[in-house]
Amino acid sequence: MVSGDSIGNRTFNFLNILLLVSVSLLCLLPLVHILAVSFSKSSAAAAGVVKLWPVNFTINSYQFILKKPEFLSSMNITLIRVIVGTTLSMLLTVLSAYPLSKDRRALKFRTGYAWFFVFTMLFGGGLIPWYMTIKYLGLLDSIWGLILPSALPVYNIILLLNFFRSLPVELEESALMDGAGYWKVLWKIFVPLSMPALATVGLFTIVGHWNSWFDGLILMNSPSNYPLASYLQTVIRGVDLTKLTGQDILTLASVNDRTAKAAQIFVGTIPILLVYPFLQKYFVKGIVLGSVKG
């Protein structure tokens, strides 16, 4: 009986490991393929002969993208957007989630306020009213046009307020009895205890700002104001052949749309991959605990 159980457990563990390895390869192999394409010559990529290893190794695609002054400018804009946007979004999210985590006795009309936020998730005015609002507020061609419209994600509020509600209410009650105010309770008790949820919300916000490209294209009238993702979207289509040097023409001859886009993917992904390991230990815990209570 024991031997049977042991064989069954080993078989089950083997199948689990096999399944997880297979799923991991399904996720990893496409990225390896794209990386190989980005380091291959355009002729090899166009012929479809690149698999998991570069063919006629070259870094021309990365040189074509990275050496342009517009790249450094767009990178600077994106870094400012991520730093300022994430800081502002986290501050507003915390200040909104904390009072909404209280019951009706502590905050009158709490349910009404909560449904006000949820309503914005279910219904939107559409792209044109959104654009006109930003235009009439004078935010076009401004970094604030990229930050303020997404400064308060409702999903993050819901995630964080549910995490706040999972914390023992006795902590807050004892602090209030000792003379602490709500501001001190929030910043001295709730925020330090909510690092898993805050790390999760922060990661969502960072990735959202970093990867956002569509708003840059429609809100920035000048390409010099494009964030990195918007610049990378136009790096091939926006080539002005009259301004290319002889070396640029030689580089462009070995670069096509496929290899350049493959390089763009990794240029845009590497910074997030560098940030994620520092937040990964909080990520799963924040997702699970933040969804316990509704």
Instruction: Give pLDDT, residue 235.
Output: 66
Model confidence over 119-161: pLDDT tens digits?
888 888 888 999 999 999 999 999 999 999 999 999 999 989 8
The domain total for the chain is 2
Does 92 fall in a domain? yes
Is residue 41 domain-shared with residue 75, that is, in the same domain?
no
Is residue 23 domain-shared with residue 133, that is, in the same domain?
no
Residues in contact with 202: Cβ distance below 8 Å, sequence separation at least 6, in sequence order = 86, 90, 279
Is residue 184 domain-shared with residue 38, that is, in the same domain?
no
Is residue 73 domain-shared with residue 215, that is, in the same domain?
yes
Please give the chain's pLDDT, 294 residues, in tens.
Answer: 445 567 888 888 899 999 999 999 998 898 899 899 989 888 888 888 888 899 888 888 888 777 777 788 888 999 999 999 999 999 999 999 999 988 887 788 888 888 889 888 888 888 899 999 999 999 999 999 999 999 999 999 998 988 888 888 888 888 888 888 889 999 999 999 888 889 888 888 998 999 898 999 999 988 888 998 888 777 655 555 455 555 555 566 667 777 877 887 788 788 877 777 776 666 666 555 544 444
Q: How many CB atoms lie within 10 A of CB 82?
A: 23
Does 223 fall in a domain? yes
Does 60 fall in a domain? no
Tokens 């700002």 belong to which residue? Answer: 209
* Length of the chain (residues): 294
Q: How many CB atoms lie within 10 A of CB 68?
A: 15
106 φ/ψ angles, rounded to the nearest 5 degrees? -85, -30
Instruction: Give pLDDT, residue 288.
Output: 57
Does 276 fall in a domain? no
Is residue 181 domain-shared with residue 92, that is, in the same domain?
yes
**Domain interval for residue 27:** 2-47
Does 52 fall in a domain? no
Residue pair 239/252 in contact (Cβ under 8 Å)? The answer is yes
**Of 192, 121, 139, the residue nearest 163 (C-alpha):** 192
Is residue 42 domain-shared with residue 75, that is, in the same domain?
no
Instruction: Give pLDDT, residue 279.
Output: 67
Does 97 fall in a domain? yes
Is residue 111 domain-shared with residue 41, that is, in the same domain?
no
Tokens 């709730």 belong to which residue? Answer: 190
Is residue 159 domain-shared with residue 215, that is, in the same domain?
yes
Does 259 fall in a domain? no
Is residue 162 domain-shared with residue 29, that is, in the same domain?
no
Is residue 85 domain-shared with residue 122, that is, in the same domain?
yes
Does 239 fall in a domain? no
**Of 265, 169, 209, 168, the residue nearest 80 (C-alpha):** 209
Distances (CA, A) of 55 to 35, 50, 74, 266: 11, 6, 30, 18
Identify the CATH number of the domain in which residue 79 sits. Answer: 1.10.3720.10
Is residue 128 domain-shared with residue 27, that is, in the same domain?
no
Model confidence over 50-81: pLDDT tens digits?
888 998 888 888 887 777 777 888 889 999 99
pTM equals 0.76
| Final residue before a domain boundary, out of 234, 269, 288 | 234
Q: What does the DSSP assignment read for 240-253?
A: -GGG--HHHHHHHH
| Final residue before a domain boundary, out of 184, 211, 234 | 234
Instruction: Give pLDDT, residue 245.
Output: 58
